[in-house]
Amino acid sequence: MAVPAAEKRYAHWPVRLPESLRMVASDEQTAWYQDQVVLGDGRIVPVRATAYRPCWEQLPAPVRDAVEAAAGSAVVATWSAGTGFTPGFASRLSLADGRRVFVKAASSADDRLHGWPMSEAYREEQRKLSHLSADGVDIGAPPLLWHRSLEVEGDRWIILAFAHVEGRPPRRPWRPDELRLVLDRFIEVAPALSSPPAELALEEVADHLVGDLRPRLEHIRDRVGDSHWLDTVERLAGRAHDHLAGSSVVHMDLRDDNVLIGTDRRVWFVDWNWPVVGAAWIDLVCLLLSARGDGHDVDALLAGHPLTSDVDPVAVDCLLAVLLSFWMARSADEVPHGSPYLRDHQTWYAEVTRSWLQERLARRRPKHSAGDAQQAVPRG
């Protein structure tokens, strides 16, 4: 059987550091590509080289032509981003006139291949950023320069071009100085995110997070059996509507791989596909999960940060319970084409989230954590 064109574009695509960069991998601007985390079972998985993506030459000629026409200059060199967990085209493009842009692209063929509406997510990112960053408002996102839609052989394409950020993701394990830069950036952008445009009609964060909570927990119980610990998770997650509501824009996918630190030390937040409306502190807690896994005292960081210093501890517990249910359920799913380490990272996040939540509950209510604290997070 012939291999579909879209399948050919993604087959056998281990994204590696380019040879020119591997030769200087000890350099501060490239060593980040080798960062790793260790799972509870001892396996080591990469943090940055995580996505299999199509490269520039694999895009259909009409798509490449559309990019060059919109950019106003020919593409002379490219570097495909290996970070993240989605398999869409994402590359830094060097142009003949000396400029650089960062371009993302996906098609309806990609949607069919990967089983989820990736191209629609890119369209939503364009729509939402156009409103959130209108008139140069700084929400922490690199400026969206232009976007194009076109049809190629019956497939609908969406292309997004962003201002190129000269920089890199934060190092893992998190360095204290870089973590502080990112935490300070939350304070800077909070005012701009405090009241989203009404025309965006963003979903409420609790609806987004707990809409499928019951089937999610049933899925987990089918694998691990009934447990008092899952009852605790369900009870806390069920209170999300009371504790997570708010009027701020919440990125809702703000992990370290969606953070860039510029060479000028300015911090950027990327991939605004899934914003919702809720409490202003939610993204901060989500980001600190990776810092917790890297050994930082994140409760002390929460206590000292303006966005979280006055937050009810139970509210943080509710968020962690919801996130734990998500990580545990998703980590047992089939490994997706184009993202070979996604389930490993979800397992890592489940382990970290559970450990943090258990510690918080044991510190305040020891009687609720007895016995359950020794139960390992299931891998499914």
Q: Is 348 helix (H, G, I), strand (E, B) or coil?
A: helix
The single residue listed with the structure tokens 């922490």 is 140
Pair (219, 344) in one structural domain: yes
CB 46 within 8 A of CB 57: no
| pLDDT given for residue 226 in this prediction | 67
| pLDDT given for residue 27 in this prediction | 58
Determine the Cα–Cα distance for residues 160 and 271; give it in Å rounded to an integer: 11
CATH assignment of the domain containing 70:
3.30.200.20
374-to-43, 183, 265, 299, 358 alpha-carbon distances in Å: 21, 32, 41, 21, 10
Pair (178, 257) in one structural domain: yes
The single residue listed with the structure tokens 């369900």 is 234
The single residue listed with the structure tokens 């304070």 is 187
Pair (309, 335) in one structural domain: yes
Q: What would the mean pLDDT of 74-79 be, rounded to a whole number? A: 97
pLDDT category, 29, cuts 50, 70, 90?
low
Q: Is 310 helix (H, G, I), strand (E, B) or coil?
A: coil
Pair (281, 175) in one structural domain: yes
CB 49 within 8 A of CB 78: no
CATH assignment of the domain containing 258:
3.90.1200.10
Report the number of distinct structural domains present in the chain.
Answer: 2
In tens, the pLDDT along 243-260 reads 999 999 999 999 999 999
43 lies in a domain? no
| pLDDT given for residue 229 in this prediction | 86
Determine the Cα–Cα distance for residues 230 and 344; give it in Å rounded to an integer: 21
| pLDDT given for residue 3 in this prediction | 30
CB 12 within 8 A of CB 338: no
| pLDDT given for residue 332 in this prediction | 87
Last residue of a domain, one of 148, 166, 184: 166
93 lies in a domain? yes
pTM of the model: 0.88
Any bridge partners for residue 40, and if so which? none
In tens, the pLDDT along 145-192 reads 999 999 999 999 999 999 999 999 999 999 999 999 999 999 999 999
Where on the phi/psi map is residue 370: left (φ > 0), alpha (ψ -120 to 50), or beta?
A: beta
Question: In this structure, what DSSP letter does residue 251 have?
Answer: -
| pLDDT given for residue 28 in this prediction | 59
143 lies in a domain? yes
Of 297, 342, 299, 294, residue with least CA distance to 320: 299
Q: What would the mean pLDDT of 41-68 be, rounded to a whole number? A: 94
In tens, the pLDDT along 260-293 reads 999 999 999 999 999 999 999 999 999 999 999 9
Residues 6+ away with beta carbon under 8 Å from 41:
379
CB 302 within 8 A of CB 288: yes
Pair (143, 191) in one structural domain: no
233 lies in a domain? yes
Of 315, 249, 240, 307, residue with least CA distance to 278: 249
The single residue listed with the structure tokens 């409103």 is 131
- In which domain, by residue range, is 280 found? 168-374
